[in-house]
Structure 1
């Protein structure tokens, strides 16, 4: 065998074969990385679509449930019930109609738009709602009655399966909620899913398909309404997605193509969100990379055959560097770049490797950024939901305590009045030197203390809905500070005022709101006792000209972290000595809630406490108090 031939074979063995092997290994590694990246992206998309679908539907259920929390519409008269339904109907544009049903699931009242001009004259906001036909109204009432009748005991809301409206063929669901006292009746609304369907259609760009399945694997909603109307069955194609309770990946065959699919359950609805894409479309970049790689390898082999004597030494080092670069990429070092100043095929191959590494690094950064953004959104949404849940739970506890307090006060007032009256009569008949008089005075004092507690309980149960007028908030706070001025001076408390520039008015019951600030000021003074720094700060801020935020800050003892969740509970106190009844903050919470506002508390032990009140501002017209 000639030396040239041997050299050629040697170069092929030492240069071409390792290059081909390295290219194949890099291609396989890139294939695995790209497949994993595509699967992860599909999974995240499916999870996002599932969360969006759940939020889209369950937010209405939460709103209906909240609307029934403090109001039983079945107990209202016809006009009041119609007004209640109108307020619910006008909350969202995508509500087509609402209905109120009694305990036997019979329709009591309903609101829908069948004549836009007539409704527009009655209420301009009705123009934002779609019209419905008589057949669609009848179909909605039937579905809503069946949903309420089949709602399990203990459930406060339910959602029907998606359907197409009878005449206009629009996707929709029925969302129903009922009051805790009801055993069959409640409030129902038809929620249009066109916006959700449009989102699914937009998500299906670049041959990607996004759709929703029911628990049996049948198609519920698709960007293509006609396709959803056929109720395509995916139970055999995607058995893993049927009734899935956790996210996953799978694939199925359709129209001679293999589709890569990721699915995620829709919370509380029993649906499954699926994101699918043809395998050849998902792995198209890898196919392009493989063609480019093999083209470069072909040019390399031609160069070896033609210039084997000259390239024997020149090829060894560049190929080794290319192999090392491929290994770095395979190990995950996406920032590694190959510096090869050549103007031949090897240089092109090095540029191809660098471009591939840059593309993979950019894709990796985008995925990390998307992951961080999604995690931040989930954390923010979780925090908001926890705050809302805590507020609702606290309101429910106070409402239940108020009902019990009203009953207790009613039952205790009569015997307590008898005790006080009899003790007073006995004291009038006894001489001053009688030894029994001291015991009767003690009984009289304790009975009066019980009467005070009963009055506090009545304040906790009462809901003030009338007698409100525009109140100058700054004037009220200044009067309160002036009335407590001697007490503040005596204990050495420095008062800082940081009021909003200009007049701030709120619509309130002057006595009730003044009592709230008086109680908060009393709590702050108690916390400032025996403190080295005694500073009380009152601040007001106007938010969007519709809300005013009032902050009462002190540098007192603070509240232990483990007590913060119970701070608004009736009869709970953190005072060092039991001098009160533990009802002040509970009463403040009830009064502020009745005024349409909110109250929150932040405290750090040894640093101080800040109580924040948010109240709606009063209209521009009206007299000041």
Structure 2
């Protein structure tokens, strides 16, 4: 061996050299461990924030969609339609205001009101005082632009309000707009509470003008998203104050989040935020990430606190330094004993096993989160189907109430057919073929009757699809409905008076029309139960305006005047518990409204109730 090589080996074997190597390995371990851990932690923090952004956006969408159908349902109310035709009727406006107040309490909205095209409030759930106050500043702008919804600051509640708009049409066009005002203060309060408890994440909702309209930090509300200064920024603030979208005292301070920080989410930039409280001099350093809410024209921004990641990175740095020290000492140890090599191999194998186990746990957690997300999507889809299922449930409830009578209707022909069949066998043995033929003819007639009943039940129970109106003979639909309730007419000895022209035809869905008629006939029979006079009158006539008006009268107990306004409320019924859900008239009113008509109810002069609705008439037989 050359002399210089021996000299080098002897120098490397000195303890002082191993001390220098150990220190160097500790520094490298600190740098590598801290940087790798910080980058991995930031990546994981970014992924978790994106998943939570999806959850927050779904929560916000669900909160706004909870009242989406309310304006359309209220627009079908007869009182609201009457106000559209007579907007200056003070008594009617007060009556509708009281009705809106009751509905507003049940729906959980902030306010419901009806506004004229010029923005004047005609009726409001807040009462007469609200109708005399000026309308929201952005309402006129939204009415002119035809927007279905908009956001605006509510200075009374010091929070954001979401407005849902539904136009109310009259014969001359748009006559008014029904507005449902929803407060987002409870959702924002939940975010504020979450931010106070976790102190690791802040939420912002930014509108199209770059203004923070919701925040888990109350002080950041109505800040501007980006950075800027000078005349252009002052002009932008002045334009925002003049827009009427925000409170008059909004400061529009700069948030300090540059646009490039949100345009490049993969870079995971850190931004110094404004102070959380006015007494603080500097705000926290956070990592911004956003998710656009395109249908609403908003952006949801999550600000994650990387301090936990940095703390873990420091721990990882100390671990890396310790690993470096361990490597240095291990080098000295390996020089003396070969056993250390085997121990190191075992330690590496255990480390790989732990890493694989950790990866499996992460994969399992990711799969669980995906399954939860799919379940949320499935629940949203189920809500969309709820209205159709409610209509079908009303049909099945009617069929259930009629099942006993229909069973009796079917059992009688079956008993007669069995007797005739047995009698036919005896007649065949006696050679009386003519009488056997008469029995077979009678059996055929009974089978035809059973087929008629079962076909009508099958048609009635079928789940109807939404479709355009088709020509329907009104008398045929009435007879089909009477076929289903015929046994009840006979059981209660109800006299039927039918005054419907045979050639009268209307444009609608025949199956859904029969559902309305069965509901009205069933209610009339229930109301006349036990009365001395039981007369059911069904009439129809065509009017000069191209409509057909159908009238159903009964001689039952009737209903008091104070209960008539609640007749078409969901789940309202005067029947005993277990005999009605209070959905029949609500569903019937919705079906008639879909046909372009209106279902009315009033007391008869001689007692009982009258239900009247109109349908579009078939003008010419060539349209079929």
Structure 2 length-normalised TM? 0.53
1:35: Cα distance to partner?
Answer: 3.0
Partner residue of 2:381? 382
1:65 is aligned to 2:56 = no
1:81 is aligned to 2:96 = yes
Partner residue of 1:112? 126
1:239 is aligned to 2:259 = yes
Partner residue of 1:606? none
1:261 is aligned to 2:288 = yes
Query: 1:251 is matched with which residue: 243, 255, 269?
Result: 269
- C-alpha change, 1:144 and 1:570, in structure 2 (3 Å) is same
Query: Counterparts of 2:417 and 2:23 in 1: how far apart (Å)?
Result: 92
1:482: Cα distance to partner?
Answer: 1.0
State how 1:374-453 maps to structure 2 within 5 Å. Answer: 374-385=373-384, 387-388=385-386
Partner residue of 1:274? 301
Is the contact made by 1:42 and 1:261 (CA closer than 8 Å) also made in structure 2? no
Partner residue of 2:316? 289
Query: Counterparts of 1:169 and 1:283 in 2: how far apart (Å)?
Result: 37
State the superposition RMSD in angstroms.
5.2
Q: Partner of 2:210: helix, strand, or coil?
A: coil
- C-alpha change, 1:229 and 1:583, in structure 2 (3 Å) is closer
Partner residue of 1:334? 356
1:524: Cα distance to partner?
Answer: 5.5
Is the contact made by 1:54 and 1:267 (CA closer than 8 Å) also made in structure 2? no
Structure 1 length-normalised TM? 0.53
- C-alpha change, 1:53 and 1:484, in structure 2 (3 Å) is same
Number of aligned positions between the proteins: 411
Query: 1:200 is matched with which residue: 191, 202, 208?
Result: 191
- C-alpha change, 1:189 and 1:571, in structure 2 (3 Å) is closer
- C-alpha change, 1:283 and 1:2, in structure 2 (3 Å) is closer
Partner residue of 2:144? 150
Partner residue of 1:91? 106
Query: Counterparts of 2:283 and 2:579 in 1: how far apart (Å)?
Result: 77
List per-residue Cα deviations over 1:77-101 (Å, max 9, x = no partner). Answer: 33542243123311244x3332211
Query: 1:215 is matched with which residue: 189, 208, 219?
Result: 208
Is the contact made by 1:203 and 1:210 (CA closer than 8 Å) also made in structure 2? no
1:165: Cα distance to partner?
Answer: 1.1
1:214: Cα distance to partner?
Answer: 0.9
The structure having more radius of gyration, on CA atoms, is 2
Unaligned runs of 5+ in 2: 1-6, 84-91, 228-254, 273-281, 419-449, 473-479, 481-504, 524-569, 581-624
- C-alpha change, 1:302 and 1:520, in structure 2 (3 Å) is farther
Query: Counterparts of 1:372 and 1:622 in 2: how far apart (Å)?
Result: 41
Query: Counterparts of 1:595 and 1:236 in 2: how far apart (Å)?
Result: 68
List per-residue Cα deviations over 1:170-189 (Å, max 9, x = no partner). Answer: 44333332236563621223
Partner residue of 1:319? 344
1:19: Cα distance to partner?
Answer: 11
- C-alpha change, 1:193 and 1:240, in structure 2 (3 Å) is farther
Is the contact made by 1:15 and 1:319 (CA closer than 8 Å) also made in structure 2? no
Partner residue of 1:169? 158
Query: 1:586 is matched with which residue: 496, 512, 518?
Result: 512
Q: Partner of 1:178: helix, strand, or coil?
A: strand
Is the contact made by 2:205 and 2:300 (CA closer than 8 Å) also made in structure 1? yes
Query: Counterparts of 2:259 and 2:165 in 1: how far apart (Å)?
Result: 31
1:585: Cα distance to partner?
Answer: 3.0
Query: 2:54 is matched with which residue: 34, 39, 47?
Result: 47
Query: Counterparts of 1:19 and 1:588 in 2: how far apart (Å)?
Result: 86
Partner residue of 2:180? 189
